[in-house]
Chains A and B, each alone.
Chain A
Amino acid sequence: MSNNGRKIKSDWNLIGTPMRKVEGLDKSTGRALYTDDLVFPGMLHGKILRSPHPHARIVSIDTSSAEALDGVHGVVTGQDMPTTYGIIPWTPDEYPLCVDRVRYVGDGVAAVAAVDEDTALRALELIEVEYEELPAFFDPFEALEADGSTPYVHEPKKADWNGNVTKKVHLEFGEVDELMDGSDAVVEGEYFFEGSTHTAIEPHCAIGLWQAGGGFQRQDGESSGKLTVWSATQVPHYLHRELARVLEVDQAHVRVLQPLVGGAFGGKSEPFDLEFCVAKLSMITGRPVKILYTREEVFYAHRGRHPFHMKYRTGATAAGKLTSVDAEIVLDGGAYASFGLVTTYYAGQLLCAPYEMPAYRFDSTRVYTNKPACGPKRGHGSVQPRFAFEVQIDKLSERLDLDPIEFRRLNFIGSNTRTINELRVTSNGFMECLESVERESAWKDRFRKLPFGCGLGVAGSTYITGTNYPIYPNDMPQSGVQMQVDRSGRVAVFSGASEIGQGCDSMVAYIAAEELGVPLDYVRVLRGDTDFTPVDLGAYSSRVTFMVGNAAIDAARKLRGMVQEAVAEEWDVKPGEVLLAGGLALWAPDTERQMHVKEAFNLAEAKFGTLGSTGSYNTPKDVHGEYRGATIGASPAYSFTAHVAEVEVDVETGIVDVKKIWVAHDCGRALNPVLVEGQMEGSAYMGFGEALMEEQVFKDAEHGRAGLHDAPSLLDYRIPTSLDTPELQSLIVESIDPEGPYGAKEAGEGPLHPSIPAIANAIYDAVGVRMDRLPFSPPNVWRALEAAREADTLRKPILNPGAGAPTSTPELVPGD
């Protein structure tokens, strides 16, 4: 079923064909409105005062001089919003503004609304905060050893606990030690995955508008206010709930609007201080208030990829079958929990495909440190262990003299199966992914055969297509869509989905056009307003196409049935014989018999009354193991990916030039192959940047202020530009998932995973040097090359297929 990007013949008219994004022209011509483009009469501008200390008690805050400054209309501090929140209901550990303690350089302390940003900034300088500095934790291992003699980052939930631990997970499946001991080869390695941030083009921005009375008059005579917040968020529903709870406003009187979002990548998937501040400042001033983060503030808000310290032991038989995997992981979480409880599970739970593991154990601990909080970034919690594991497999393959692609084939888990941790796998196109990258990269002719300095590396991966369980427990649908058709032939889609650039407005439009037979430009997608769209939980965990797509199909088919029935009655034929396609209703046995969809809709409206429908999707809830944590990682479908990367290493400077990455991805079905390829390329690009460039460096006391982000700007924080980006070749694989919309699965996050280990493995093929720590920046690679020169191991590795496994007792291969 692999089509490598070419259109395959299908039962659908639009689905599977290249189509424009519905908002593409507006974005490319500058007409599209983002939150910061919105301006309201009387609008004030807010700024947030941030902590200069990594860890300190707030002794006192004096805002009187700031309030007295001309042009200042309102000032708030933590005391004005003393309710904790957190995206995960079990770990609410942050306030909109710090109440009594700051926990990282950049933590919000007070906020000002003024006539313009300059005045607000001057007002911030007039706020006097007295701090009592506390010892800070920067190293997760030191934080783990803390004994409470100085304050932990957070108060421990129980007296004898270490308050620096967010979450510990220990899970074991199968006979890990026995199978490890009985393995013919065991590889042991230590890995470090550097943290990274999202670098969405649009900084966070929010506007709050409090309307006292709000036009409502209650029966008891009291009038309630109405709160409206526009925000560049990827989770309007959760923001809606948290705004209501923290600000003590009835949820029914809170409205969240989501203008177009200029990228998010996980960095806007929970509430942030600015959203609470604009709301509270509007309540105080009675005027709309806008806050736009500076790029520097985006780096402090962070919630980026956690740095992971990882140890892996991986065993295999002489024939190349995996036997046992044992992992120990420490996550450097930063100052707040964010999604960290989930990250701690994902660190282990998402590794159990596409390879069959007879036994698996992981021990994963998330630690608080006094740095910006880490959270979810594209490939949440699973990109880091995937790096380590795919390098482990490369090392094992070499130990066993097996081609690493062959090793992966030997261990393929298959489709319609369960993983060792009891996750249900349905469709699985991983073998075709491997074949595609093997063929297109001419792997067999070139692996281990390129000249010294040039190399190829392979890696594979899997990722969830949404999660079976929502963030807050409930039995309601995960996604809802409403549709109506009108007398002009148009279809209006009311979608709760979050358009963050990934194309979900387009996706529901394609589905509406496909199912109701209207031209694409007859579809209006109305989205991003909690007042009139049904709930979708948000743009995270690669859930949107699968869940919103299924809900849209559900809504559209209900309407289609009514239209077919009305037309069938008119023509005196069977409803099933009425087709809706290409702007027409057609009689299948003789398509010369046809009418415009507008007429068809009018017939249906005459027969049934005003035409509207709702559609919803909920996830399967009975497909996981019975152990604690078994639901985390459970997804209705899994995507699969394989990469081959080709590199050239400059052995004098340590520069790694990635020449090309072949990306094969099983997305179930490509509803629009252009958007799928965009996601595949964007993912590989992002992984490439993490592999080669990105580094989260914080100053230490000897070089400035301890805990201060060293590079909170896009000049100093390195991401690739288009000039740096290698050639990327996308190879779409379609396994047609039984439960996905038209068989679709995710494409937005999975294709990132193999980028990093594929490049690491390619560097090894090029020069025989293992890069077990990110990033593979020139100085880091040069140091590794120097060490190899000294050890006289700097040479092209040799593949000797058929040589067989070592017959002696397995020796441990040190990883670093």
Chain B
Amino acid sequence: MEDFAFHRPGSVAEAQETLRGTEDSKFMAGGQSLIPLMKLDMAAPGAVVSLTGIDELRGIEQQDGSLVIGAGMTHSEVAESDDVRNAISALAGLAGSIGDPQVRNRGTLGGSVAHADPAADYPAALVALGATVITDRREIAAEDFFQGMFETPLETDEVITSVRFPVPDSAGYSKFPNPASKYAIAGVMVARNGADVKVAVTGAGTGVFRATAFEEALAGDFSAGALDGASVSADGLVSDTDASAEYRAHLVGVMARRAVEACG
């Protein structure tokens, strides 16, 4: 790892000021993606601006049928929050299934969302629940936010402050995890609001996507049985040593059925 300067500002404004004033610098939240990249010399920022000391990024609030979670909340905090468990238990369960305890104690909601790893769990939740990403300067709908592998509309000095999740009638998440990292090889979040059903898939493709055929089938009959034999096309899905595209396509169907069952 190359040497770098480390800053830990106390406010979003100060963080942005530091970033703008420091050449070759990067924001870092929990550091669960950036630090490994730096250890492998795949990233070598001259300065790291930590977002972990900023109170305004913390907290979980209920607001008019929505849950607003601060970007700086760790996966453990989300998993263990009674507010989250009561409102959207599938979201708490999803957060509790990320990585391992060490990762969950460091990694944050905002960091995961900003990184937009195609196998991360949160993007499936944001898209299926119709969440909104709130930054220091604007609000972006989840579907517009995730633009592909590590691609988001965030500007260099833009900071995610929170994410607003509308509370659904019911939701369920099921994933087939990578056995070592626990990233999703295929993860499916299903959320139902009356007749409206959203099914978001992570891990299987180069970015989170919606399985619209599944949504249509479930809109007519919200049961696992409605998805019997259903699968997505293997075209464009990821193929690696863990799973071929064909196997991933199959797993998306299985995980979708299990996610519907998990909706209760």
Chain A interfacial positions (CB closer than 8 Å to B): 652-653, 693, 695, 697, 710-711, 714-716, 718, 724, 778-779, 782
Contacts and interface: CB of A to CB of B under 8 A. Distances in A.
26 contacts: A652-B254, A653-B176, A653-B251, A653-B254, A693-B179, A695-B241, A697-B241, A710-B241, A711-B241, A714-B180, A715-B180, A715-B181, A716-B180, A716-B241, A718-B179, A718-B180, A724-B179, A778-B176, A778-B243, A778-B247, A779-B242, A779-B243, A779-B244, A779-B247, A782-B247, A782-B250
Interface of B: 176, 179-181, 241-244, 247, 250-251, 254
A515 B179 CA distance: 49
Nearest to B255: A653
A779 B176 CA distance: 12
A652 B254 CA distance: 7
A715 B179 CA distance: 9
Nearest to B257: A652
A654 B251 CA distance: 10
Contacts of A653: 176, 251, 254
A711 B176 CA distance: 20
Contacts of B244: 779
A693 B241 CA distance: 12
Given A715-B181, A716-B180, A718-B179, 17 more contacts: A652-B254, A653-B251, A653-B254, A697-B241, A710-B241, A711-B241, A714-B180, A715-B180, A718-B180, A724-B179, A778-B176, A778-B243, A779-B242, A779-B243, A779-B244, A779-B247, A782-B247
Nearest to B239: A703
- Among A693, A710, A782, chain B packs the most CB atoms within 10 A around the CB of A782
A714 B179 CA distance: 12
A715 B244 CA distance: 19
A653 B176 CA distance: 9
A235 B170 CA distance: 62
A649 to B, nearest CB: 14
A78 to B, nearest CB: 28
Most chain-A Cβ atoms within 10 A of its Cβ — which of B179, B247, B250, B251? Answer: B179
Nearest to B243: A779
A716 B179 CA distance: 10
A50 B53 CA distance: 44
Contacts of A724: 179
Nearest to A655: B176
Contacts of B180: 714-716, 718
B245 to A, nearest CB: 11
A709 to B, nearest CB: 11
Contacts of B242: 779
Contacts of B251: 653
Contacts of B241: 695, 697, 710-711, 716
Contacts of B176: 653, 778
Contacts of A778: 176, 243, 247
A714 B180 CA distance: 9
A724 B251 CA distance: 21
Nearest to B179: A718
A773 to B, nearest CB: 16
Contacts of A779: 242-244, 247
Which of A653, A693, A724 has the largest number of chain B CB atoms within 10 A?
A653
Contacts of A715: 180-181
A253 B11 CA distance: 66
A782 B243 CA distance: 11
A652 B244 CA distance: 16
Nearest to B180: A715
Nearest to A719: B180
Nearest to B250: A782
A693 B242 CA distance: 10
A771 to B, nearest CB: 16
A724 B179 CA distance: 9
A652 B251 CA distance: 8
A711 B251 CA distance: 23
Contacts of B254: 652-653
A778 B251 CA distance: 11
A632 to B, nearest CB: 36
